Amino acid sequence: MRGPLKFDERRRGMRGRGLIQLFILHSLHKEPKSGYDLIKEITEKTGGAWVPSKGTLYPMLKKMEEEGLIIVSDTGKRSKNIFSLTAEGEETLDEIVRVRLEEKEKMYVFRNLLFEIFGDEPESVKADLREIRFLTEELPVEKQAEARSLIRSCLEKIRELGSR
């Protein structure tokens, strides 16, 4: 199955993976963590709206370890396993991100057709906002601050329009 919350099953012979597995790869890319740390991080990032159970997370970590995506790199306090990405895990994460970026670019190319199909005018404010979002996401990190400044300036002018 393919979709926004699933990996492409055809790649590397992997079966479907959900958002939680993608997040595990992403999070461990930043630094090694325990299962408890991962649960805590997901809980914090979702404002408590999603608290993965131990019964969901730990079997998933075991499966990802068996697939060679992660390893137990250390044993912390109270015999807590600390997980790290393997080279295969890094490659898998990179490939998923690359494929998603390609898909996003394809959507951008076909946006005018989508606007026509779904009745949204390409010249609408919503369309302009989508284009701003797409273009700013594609900017290099060193240009993000300048883009943010431009957007804030535009927001201020739009607020002024609303107060007249």
pLDDT tens for each residue of 8-34: 444 443 444 588 999 999 999 999 999
**What pLDDT band is residue 6 in, cutting at 50, 70 and 90?**
very low
Query: Which residue range forms the structural domain that includes residue 118?
Result: 110-163
Report whether 72 contacts 65 (CB < 8 A): yes
Instruction: Determine the average pLDDT of the residues in 28-45.
Output: 96
Are 16 and 84 members of one domain? yes
| pLDDT per position as a tens digit, 80-125 | 999 999 999 999 999 998 888 788 777 777 776 777 787 766 567 8
Q: Any idea which of 59-63, 87-91, 107-111, 154-158 has the lowest mean pLDDT?
A: 107-111
Burial class (CB in 10 A: 0-12, 13-18, 19+), 69: buried
Co-location of 67 and 128 in the same domain = no
d(CA 109, CA 111): 6
Q: Looking at the domain assignment, is residue 141 inside a domain?
A: yes
Share of the chain above pLDDT 90, in %: 51
φ and ψ at 148, to 5 degrees? -60, -40
CA 155 from chain centre, in angstroms, equals 26
User: Per the domain annotation, does 102 fall within a domain?
Assistant: no
The residues that bridge with 10 in the sheet, in sequence order, are none
Q: Do 62 and 127 belong to one domain?
A: no
**Residue 65: Cβ within 10 Å count:** 16
CB proximity list for 104: less than 8 A, separation 6 or greater = 134, 137
The pLDDT confidence band at residue 126, using thresholds 50, 70 and 90, is confident
Mean pLDDT for the chain?
Answer: 83
Q: What is the model's pLDDT at position 61?
A: 96
- Residue 8's pLDDT is what? 46
- Among residues 60, 59, 39, the alpha carbon closest in space to that of 50 is found at 39
Show the DSSP H helices in the chain as ranges. 19-30, 35-45, 54-66, 87-109, 111-118, 125-138, 141-163
Same domain, 66 and 137: no
pLDDT at 10: 44
Total domain count, the chain? 2
- With 0.75 as the threshold, say if the pTM is over it: no
pLDDT (mean) for 28-42:
96
Decide which of 89 and 3 is more confident: 89
